[in-house]
Amino acid sequence: MSDLRSLYEEVILDHNRNPRNYLHKPEGANHHAYGFNPLCGDEFTIHLTLKDGVITDVGFEGAGCAISTASASLMTEAIKGMSVAEADALFRSVHNLLTHEGEAGDIGKLQVLSGVHEYPARVKCATLAWHTLNAALHNDKETVTTE
Protein backbone atom coordinates (compact mmCIF):
# COMPACT_ATOMS: atom_id res chain seq x y z
CA MET A 1 0.00 0.00 0.00
CA SER A 2 1.43 3.36 -0.98
CA ASP A 3 2.08 6.05 1.60
CA LEU A 4 -0.48 8.36 -0.07
CA ARG A 5 -3.18 5.69 -0.03
CA SER A 6 -2.43 4.95 3.62
CA LEU A 7 -2.62 8.65 4.46
CA TYR A 8 -5.85 8.98 2.44
CA GLU A 9 -7.50 6.18 4.37
CA GLU A 10 -6.27 7.50 7.72
CA VAL A 11 -7.49 11.05 7.06
CA ILE A 12 -10.86 9.91 5.69
CA LEU A 13 -11.45 7.69 8.72
CA ASP A 14 -10.38 10.42 11.17
CA HIS A 15 -12.58 13.12 9.61
CA ASN A 16 -15.50 10.71 9.34
CA ARG A 17 -15.28 9.62 12.98
CA ASN A 18 -14.57 13.14 14.28
CA PRO A 19 -15.87 15.60 11.69
CA ARG A 20 -14.75 19.16 12.31
CA ASN A 21 -17.42 21.89 12.43
CA TYR A 22 -20.16 19.23 12.31
CA LEU A 23 -23.55 20.02 13.86
CA HIS A 24 -22.29 23.57 14.15
CA LYS A 25 -24.54 26.37 12.98
CA PRO A 26 -22.47 29.50 13.48
CA GLU A 27 -23.95 32.38 15.42
CA GLY A 28 -25.02 34.95 12.86
CA ALA A 29 -24.69 32.58 9.88
CA ASN A 30 -25.89 34.59 6.89
CA HIS A 31 -25.29 32.21 3.95
CA HIS A 32 -26.73 28.70 3.73
CA ALA A 33 -27.13 25.99 1.11
CA TYR A 34 -28.55 22.48 1.03
CA GLY A 35 -27.06 19.66 -1.01
CA PHE A 36 -28.58 16.24 -1.64
CA ASN A 37 -27.45 13.25 -3.66
CA PRO A 38 -30.64 11.22 -4.30
CA LEU A 39 -28.77 8.13 -5.51
CA CYS A 40 -26.82 7.53 -2.34
CA GLY A 41 -28.73 9.61 0.21
CA ASP A 42 -25.87 11.93 1.20
CA GLU A 43 -27.19 15.33 2.29
CA PHE A 44 -25.60 18.37 3.88
CA THR A 45 -26.50 21.90 4.82
CA ILE A 46 -23.58 24.32 4.85
CA HIS A 47 -23.81 27.41 7.07
CA LEU A 48 -21.42 30.32 6.56
CA THR A 49 -20.88 33.56 8.38
CA LEU A 50 -19.51 36.06 5.89
CA LYS A 51 -18.33 39.43 7.07
CA ASP A 52 -16.85 41.95 4.66
CA GLY A 53 -16.36 39.20 2.07
CA VAL A 54 -14.50 36.87 4.47
CA ILE A 55 -15.66 33.52 5.87
CA THR A 56 -15.43 34.08 9.60
CA ASP A 57 -17.18 30.86 10.60
CA VAL A 58 -18.54 27.73 8.95
CA GLY A 59 -20.42 24.64 9.99
CA PHE A 60 -22.35 21.77 8.46
CA GLU A 61 -25.19 19.44 9.30
CA GLY A 62 -26.50 16.33 7.63
CA ALA A 63 -25.51 12.76 6.98
CA GLY A 64 -23.42 10.97 4.44
CA CYS A 65 -20.93 8.25 3.77
CA ALA A 66 -17.39 8.38 5.14
CA ILE A 67 -16.01 10.09 2.05
CA SER A 68 -18.66 12.82 1.87
CA THR A 69 -18.49 13.52 5.60
CA ALA A 70 -14.69 13.63 5.59
CA SER A 71 -14.66 15.88 2.53
CA ALA A 72 -17.11 18.30 4.22
CA SER A 73 -15.02 18.28 7.40
CA LEU A 74 -11.76 18.94 5.53
CA MET A 75 -13.47 21.68 3.53
CA THR A 76 -14.72 23.54 6.61
CA GLU A 77 -11.24 23.53 8.13
CA ALA A 78 -9.68 24.82 4.94
CA ILE A 79 -12.02 27.73 4.20
CA LYS A 80 -12.20 29.48 7.58
CA GLY A 81 -10.67 32.92 7.21
CA MET A 82 -10.71 32.84 3.40
CA SER A 83 -12.23 35.52 1.24
CA VAL A 84 -15.09 34.51 -1.06
CA ALA A 85 -12.68 34.77 -4.01
CA GLU A 86 -10.15 32.47 -2.29
CA ALA A 87 -12.88 29.95 -1.41
CA ASP A 88 -14.13 30.06 -5.03
CA ALA A 89 -10.60 29.35 -6.26
CA LEU A 90 -10.20 26.50 -3.76
CA PHE A 91 -13.55 25.04 -4.87
CA ARG A 92 -12.35 25.00 -8.49
CA SER A 93 -8.98 23.48 -7.53
CA VAL A 94 -10.51 20.70 -5.44
CA HIS A 95 -13.14 20.03 -8.09
CA ASN A 96 -10.38 19.76 -10.69
CA LEU A 97 -8.44 17.39 -8.43
CA LEU A 98 -11.43 15.14 -7.88
CA THR A 99 -12.71 15.12 -11.47
CA HIS A 100 -9.43 15.51 -13.39
CA GLU A 101 -11.07 18.31 -15.39
CA GLY A 102 -8.23 20.79 -14.93
CA GLU A 103 -5.23 21.83 -12.90
CA ALA A 104 -5.62 21.42 -9.14
CA GLY A 105 -2.79 23.74 -8.18
CA ASP A 106 -1.42 23.90 -4.66
CA ILE A 107 -4.22 22.81 -2.31
CA GLY A 108 -2.09 21.78 0.65
CA LYS A 109 -3.35 18.94 2.79
CA LEU A 110 -6.52 18.68 0.69
CA GLN A 111 -4.29 16.81 -1.78
CA VAL A 112 -5.13 13.74 0.31
CA LEU A 113 -8.54 13.73 -1.43
CA SER A 114 -6.80 12.60 -4.61
CA GLY A 115 -7.23 9.06 -3.25
CA VAL A 116 -10.92 9.27 -4.23
CA HIS A 117 -9.81 8.49 -7.81
CA GLU A 118 -9.30 4.88 -6.82
CA TYR A 119 -13.09 4.79 -6.26
CA PRO A 120 -14.66 6.58 -9.29
CA ALA A 121 -18.22 6.04 -8.08
CA ARG A 122 -17.36 8.05 -4.95
CA VAL A 123 -16.26 11.26 -6.71
CA LYS A 124 -19.83 12.58 -6.43
CA CYS A 125 -19.74 11.85 -2.70
CA ALA A 126 -16.54 13.84 -2.27
CA THR A 127 -17.76 16.80 -4.33
CA LEU A 128 -21.23 17.24 -2.77
CA ALA A 129 -20.08 19.42 0.13
CA TRP A 130 -17.91 21.49 -2.20
CA HIS A 131 -20.78 22.18 -4.61
CA THR A 132 -22.96 23.03 -1.62
CA LEU A 133 -20.28 25.43 -0.38
CA ASN A 134 -20.23 27.09 -3.79
CA ALA A 135 -24.00 27.60 -3.60
CA ALA A 136 -23.75 29.00 -0.06
CA LEU A 137 -21.00 31.43 -1.07
CA HIS A 138 -23.27 32.87 -3.75
CA ASN A 139 -26.57 32.60 -1.84
CA ASP A 140 -27.98 30.13 -4.36
CA LYS A 141 -31.17 28.83 -2.73
CA GLU A 142 -31.77 25.86 -5.05
CA THR A 143 -30.99 22.37 -3.78
CA VAL A 144 -27.53 21.31 -4.91
CA THR A 145 -27.08 17.85 -6.37
CA THR A 146 -24.13 15.99 -7.83
CA GLU A 147 -26.40 13.87 -10.05
Residue 144 belongs to some domain of the structure:
no
Domain count, the chain: 1
pLDDT exceeds cutoff 60 at 38: yes
Q: 3 Cβ partners below 8 Å, 6+ apart? A: none
Return the CATH number at 78: 3.90.1010.10
Residue 91 belongs to some domain of the structure:
yes
pLDDT of res. 4:
65
The secondary structure element, H or E, covering residue 82 is none
Residue 30 belongs to some domain of the structure:
yes
Residue 142 belongs to some domain of the structure:
no
Residue 104 belongs to some domain of the structure:
yes
Domain range for 125 is: 3-137
pLDDT interval class at 128 (50, 70, 90): very high
Residue 146 belongs to some domain of the structure:
no
Mean pLDDT of 103-126: 87
- What are the angstrom distances between the C-alpha of 19 and each of 59, 66, 101? 10, 10, 28
Residue 147 belongs to some domain of the structure:
no
Residue 50 belongs to some domain of the structure:
yes
Percentage of the chain beyond pLDDT 90 is 73
Nearest Cα neighbor of 87 from 115, 44, 61, 58 is 58
